[in-house]
Structure 1
């Protein structure tokens, strides 16, 4: 689980299915996760968006959207 704060989300240069999540502005956290093409469309229209799902253990990152049709769904947990 990552602490609250600002993060930068990037795709890996060698494997576009890998997302790198890095803390910014003093947030000391890094995560690497696998992803696949997300179904549907960006809920924020053409703006980048993060989609979270609420579960029994709190919120988790579900999707990362670059634009209207380019979204990545987080694989596994």
Structure 2
């Protein structure tokens, strides 16, 4: 069964996704939304931002580079 949503409902869905911490794909899957429809309405509502890309961290590592020793001399 196809669900028809109005502009206000799509605006709420887009804003909720942005604050959810979920990727668009994950959010759409959890809320039974078509990702193509989501992107279409996001663009139509002017809620897209080309300068920011949300990334999902899947593994965090710590990298430490060994620093050379510093020798001080009193002259």
TM-score (norm 1): 0.24
* TM-score of the two chains, using structure 2 as the length reference: 0.24
Whose strand proportion is higher, 1 or 2? 1
